[in-house]
Structure 1
Amino acid sequence: MHNRQNYLYVGVDLHKEHHTAVMINCWQEKLGEIQFDNKPSAFSKFLLEVETYVSDGLSVVFGLEDVGGYGRALAKYLVDHERVVKEVNPALSF
């Protein structure tokens, strides 16, 4: 069983032009927000910004809510960079 306290959760709301990522801890406390362009050239900077929220012992889990297929390039980039990526069903988000 995984200890939920060992994770930084990054939820990404995906759109055609721009994405918005929100970092939370296991208590659903918002730690920060990052907005970035939906361009592969912006994805490496996004990962660097996410890393500023990671402290020792934390693993990052990305949750992508991809309704219109706008997150395919980001999902592929994250998987190619060996990141944990989960699909979030939009019906379950609030």
Structure 2
Amino acid sequence: MNLEILQEIKNVIEDRKKNPKKDSYVNQLLKNEDKILEKIGEESTELIISTKNINQKNGKQEFIHEAADLIFHTILLCQSQNIDFNEVLKELEKRRR
């Protein structure tokens, strides 16, 4: 598994926190915690729906898309709460033992 992409996402979010950009989607969400929470709920629901439709045309691709959205917004939520996503990964690592 290539975890480098997770680090890249974290780096972009951290950069946006330190150096906000006017038209940045990340900055728009970072300004309003409730928006991040709404996105988590929305993406979770969309992932559930895509799971129900996985055997339909393009179902697998839709599932992958929604799973990626949920992971992205989860990383964003962690960063907004000053929680390093690596802590989440460490928790997952502890659970595999």
Normalising by the residue count of structure 2, what TM-score does the alignment of the two structures yield?
Answer: 0.23
Structure with the larger helix share: 2
Whichever of the two has the greater Rg, that structure is: 2
Normalising by the residue count of structure 1, what TM-score does the alignment of the two structures yield?
Answer: 0.24
Structure with the larger strand share: 1
